[in-house]
Amino acid sequence: MVYRVIGCMSGSSMDGLDVVYAVLSEVGGKWSAEIEAADCIIFPEEWKLKLENITSCSAKDLIQSHADFGHWMGQEINGFIERNALEHKVHFVSSHGHTVFHEPQNQMTFQLGDGASMAAELQLPVISDLRNMDVAFGGQGAPIVPIGEKLLWEGYEYFLNIGGIANISSHSENELKAFDICAANRVLNAIINKEGKEYDASGASAASGSCNEDLLDELNSLDFYKQEAPKSLANEFGLETVLPIVEKSNLSTADKLNTYCEHIAIQIADVLEHKGKMLVSGGGALNDYLMDRITAHAAPKEVELEKADEQTINYKEAIVMALIGAMRWREEENVLSSVTGAKQNSIGGALWMGRN
């Protein structure tokens, strides 16, 4: 079977809406994906500001924003379809949305971007709310990307994604584990933003700084790192728990960045349990200094890093959202309880038809 799907993902790093048009093929249980178009749609300043402050708005404003963001995403994806001459080619859209609240301990997660509003704009079927079923079954609702890693990429023992949050999947012969490790780009970007920059290109500023051992020790002692997997992080962890610790250190921006890169590298190396190859994706894979530090800390564990190709680095999660949507369309299990800790595997996603 062949499915022509648009997958979209708004990540915690707040860089925009990642959109891919993927041709997904399934033959005898083997999946493959070919990306024919991809784009990152930058958030308008109005939406960026709203998303940054969405957790403090009223219930009514949250519901209104949920509908408005869905309409905005639908309109932007219509533009993507037009720019890439995809009219009458798309079977359906699979949307992750933008995570606003994530409290699996209370069996609650919420991603902004109403699927019905998207479907109304697109006049296409839309699959949304991909994490909710797993959370209802007592799971973490995260990570959900490992199902895609298992089916679309072979030959790696580890998959590391460094986005706003760093997360990892560990694939051994008998076991698949995946969990969030630590806040990553969300904190690094927040540090450099105060210098008027969007991000630390190639990690140049971090490379020019020095590591502060006192700050490093305080960061490494956070309680989250003592928890056993499965575990996941809310976006607020980086900005409300980690960033205040970094800011009170009164270090230079370069020293803060250097120390936080060291912290990320240490936390990643600490969770490596067996040797093997690790495919690295997400925006953090473009941070040369951070990659060097991860490589150095992973070497004693005999783990070899491989940077993914540019398309996978930038759009891996959107590709997997397209696959998760295709599996939902087929009514097949697309979220793994072995990863999330739920009572059972689940078929995640709400379907909004968008047309007769």
Could you read off the pLDDT of 21-35 as tens digits, one per residue?
999 999 998 999 999
- The pTM (predicted TM-score) of the whole model is 0.83
Give the phi and the psi of residue 317 in degrees, each rounded to 5.
-65, -40
Q: Which residues of 6-45 are buried (b: 16+ CB within 10 A; e: fewer)?
A: bbbbbbbbbbbbbbbbbbbebeeeebebebeebbebebee
CA distance 45 to 16: 11
**What are the sequence ranges of the domains in the chain?**
2-140+317-352, 146-311
Could you read off the pLDDT of 176-193 as tens digits, one per residue?
888 999 999 999 999 999
| Residue 86 pLDDT | 98
304: confidence class by pLDDT, cuts 50, 70, 90: very high
| Residue 12 pLDDT | 66
Query: Is the pLDDT at 225 greater than 90, yes or no?
Result: yes
At the top level of CATH, which class does the domain 2-140+317-352 belong to?
alpha beta
Query: Is the pLDDT at 356 greater than 70, yes or no?
Result: no
Query: Is the pLDDT at 6 greater than 90, yes or no?
Result: yes
146-311 adopts what CATH topology?
A: Nucleotidyltransferase; domain 5 (3.30.420)
Residue 234 corresponds to which amino acid? A
Is residue 184 exposed (0-12), middle (13-18) or buried (19+ Cβ within 10 Å)?
buried
Could you read off the pLDDT of 192-214 as tens digits, one per residue?
999 999 899 999 999 999 999 99
Query: Is the pLDDT at 247 greater than 90, yes or no?
Result: yes
User: Please, which residues bridge with residue 26 across strands?
Assistant: 31
303: confidence class by pLDDT, cuts 50, 70, 90: very high
Which CA distances in Å does 288 have to 1, 200, 253, 284, 306? 40, 10, 17, 8, 13
Residue 246 corresponds to which amino acid? V
